[in-house]
């Protein structure tokens, strides 16, 4: 093994860190390159969905939560036109333990903050689980999820926690005409621990492939609708779960978990960054099992005309637009409700921000969709970015034609060849072959089809 002087290793780490700093935002805030004001439309808004991810580190000190208050204060729409979705990781660090556990009081207090927001919110509230709700991907995680489901539904009513029974889904929720939300549990797919099988919604899940088949079937059934798929784990990201870290992580990797622990470990820091960028754990996008999740979601949604996938997991706000311009699929990350963190700017993202905040989706009567990102500034939720994800339908009226076509007498026939362009002399036929030319060039008699009168016109 070649041994390098320590100062060279430190220098290499510093160079690596500076290179990364050159392609990633050194601050928490990333790109703000879209429209900064709401886009006007004459169409009526028929449904709005609030996307709040990774809220499980919310303060329980009794102080007002400005982010939650901003959502509650948006009351311009009727309750049946509003849905609040908690995108998983609803309790840090390890879900809801049983009543005898010493950590139960703190975990329940954090969950109560979210449940209280659900009570105050004028509309439907839906929780979905994340990896931390599965006992931080630990043993008996499915029991923690079921315990959380029982607690939430006892407080907010049936189907306020989806999917049911720690199963993967998919579960379809009708939000409005041609607007459906499909809930899935992505941690069920990623966990290494025991996971349940059985009847999930309208599908029997007996093995992994059954989940892929069920999700594909649901999305194909609603291929012509505006589909909002909600799950915890994103399929695209420029955050830590995809190996993007601030430059300081190369030198002080322990600050990733303990923000104030500045112990210089340059070689280990760079090794950690490289490992998370190219290998990762099951909670990171480079991981093989995680990549299969992304492939599954993209394959299942291939035929969808209007598709948005909303997730959390990364403690940031991000937007990725994939596919052709006339039919893009949009991937929204909204996981900055309680502990925002670094996200790199630029790259493939249309928008990134590492500020605390949330996202909302507005669905309009004309078929259009508008996404808005709200960030907290001095205790006030401010609109930071908005994007029209889908344009509305254009109603056009075909002009009446003044052209009059002559009537065709019954039994009228025409004699003609299919095409004269295939005719050939002896030389051309010898060089290029006959290719059944006579079938194309021989005139035949055929009846005339009167499109104006046949079968009612």
Nearest-angstrom CA–CA distance, 305 and 58: 37
| Average of per-residue pLDDT across 129-142 | 98
The beta-strand segments (E) located in 124-239 are 124-127, 171-176, 179-183, 198-200, 203-205, 226-230
DSSP H or E stretch at residue 67: helix 66-73
> What's the distance, CA 291 to chain centroid?
15
* Predicted pLDDT at 263: 85
CB neighbourhood size of 231 (10 A) = 30
Among 48-62, 257-271, 393-407, the range scoring the smallest mean pLDDT is 393-407
Helices 6-23 and 266-278 cross at an angle (nearest 10°) of: 40
Give the model's confidence band at 428: pLDDT under 50 very low, under 70 low, under 90 confident, else very high.
Answer: low
Q: pLDDT per residue over 69-128, tens digit each?
A: 999 998 889 999 999 999 999 999 999 999 999 999 999 999 999 999 999 999 999 999
Q: Does 449 score more than 70 pLDDT? A: yes
Q: For residue 239, which of 132, 352, 91 has the smallest C-alpha distance? A: 352
Q: Does 456 score more than 80 pLDDT? A: no
Residue by residue, DSSP assigns 308-325 as EEEE-SSSSEEEEEES-T
* Predicted pLDDT at 255: 82
Q: pLDDT per residue over 199-251, tens digit each?
A: 988 899 999 999 999 999 999 999 999 999 999 999 999 999 999 988 888 88
Give the model's confidence band at 273: pLDDT under 50 very low, under 70 low, under 90 confident, else very high.
Answer: confident
The three-state secondary structure class of 361 is strand
* Predicted pLDDT at 30: 43
Q: pLDDT per residue over 293-349, tens digit each?
A: 999 999 999 999 999 999 999 999 999 999 887 789 999 999 999 999 999 998 899
DSSP H or E stretch at residue 359: strand 357-364
| Average of per-residue pLDDT across 36-50 | 79
Q: pLDDT per residue over 370-381, tens digit each?
A: 999 999 999 999
* Predicted pLDDT at 406: 65
Q: Round to the nearest angstrom and report the end-to-end CA distance of the chain.
A: 85
Q: 419, exposed or middle or buried, with CB in 10 Å at 0-12, 13-18, 19+?
A: exposed
Buried b (16+ CB within 10 A) or exposed e, 341-366: bbbbbebebbbbbbbbbbbbbbbbbb
């Amino acid at each position: 093994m070649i041994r390098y002087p320590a100062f060279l290793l430190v220098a290499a780490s510093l160079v690596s860190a500076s290179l990364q700093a050159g392609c990633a935002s050194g601050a928490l805030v990333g790109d703000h390159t879209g429209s900064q004001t709401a886009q006007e439309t004459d169409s009526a808004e028929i449904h709005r969905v609030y996307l709040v991810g990774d809220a499980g580190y919310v303060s329980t000190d009794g102080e007002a939560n400005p982010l939650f208050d901003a959502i509650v204060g948006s009351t311009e729409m009727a309750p049946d036109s509003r849905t609040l979705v908690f995108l998983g990781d609803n309790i840090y660090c390890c879900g809801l333990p049983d009543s005898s556990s010493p950590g139960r009081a703190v975990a329940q207090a954090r969950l109560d903050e979210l449940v209280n927001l659900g009570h105050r919110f004028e509309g439907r509230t839906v929780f979905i689980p994340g990896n931390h709700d599965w006992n931080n991907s630990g043993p008996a995680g499915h029991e923690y999820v079921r315990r959380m489901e029982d607690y939430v539904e006892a407080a907010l009513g049936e189907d306020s926690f989806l999917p049911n029974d720690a199963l993967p889904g998919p579960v379809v929720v009708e939000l409005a005409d041609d607007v459906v939300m499909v809930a899935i549990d992505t941690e069920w797919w990623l966990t290494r621990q025991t996971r349940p099988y059985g009847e999930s919604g309208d599908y029997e899940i007996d093995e992994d492939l059954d989940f892929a088949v069920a999700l594909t079937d649901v999305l194909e059934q609603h291929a012509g609708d505006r589909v909002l798929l909600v799950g915890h784990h994103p399929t695209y990201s420029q955050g830590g779960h995809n190996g993007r870290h601030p430059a300081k992580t190369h030198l002080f990797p322990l600050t990733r978990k303990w923000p104030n622990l500045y112990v210089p470990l340059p070689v280990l820091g760079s090794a950690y960054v490289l490992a998370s960028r190219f290998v990762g754990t099951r909670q990171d996008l480079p991981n093989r099992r995680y990549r299969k999740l992304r492939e599954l979601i993209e394959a299942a949604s291939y035929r969808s005309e209007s598709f948005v996938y909303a997730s959390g997991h990364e403690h940031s706000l991000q937007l990725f637009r994939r596919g052709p311009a006339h039919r893009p699929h949009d991937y929204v990350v909204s996981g900055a409700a309680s502990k925002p963190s670094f996200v790199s700017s630029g790259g493939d993202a249309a928008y990134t921000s590492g500020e605390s905040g949330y996202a909302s989706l507005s669905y309009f009567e004309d078929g259009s969709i508008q996404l808005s990102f709200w960030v907290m500034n001095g205790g006030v939720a401010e609109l930071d970015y908005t994007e029209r994800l889908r344009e509305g339908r254009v109603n056009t009226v075909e002009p009446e034609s003044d052209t009059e076509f002559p009537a065709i007498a019954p039994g009228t026939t025409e004699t003609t060849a299919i095409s004269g362009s295939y005719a050939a002399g002896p030389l051309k036929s010898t060089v290029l072959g006959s290719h059944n030319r006579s079938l194309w060039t021989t005139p035949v008699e055929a009846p005339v089809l009167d499109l104006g009168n046949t079968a009612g016109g």
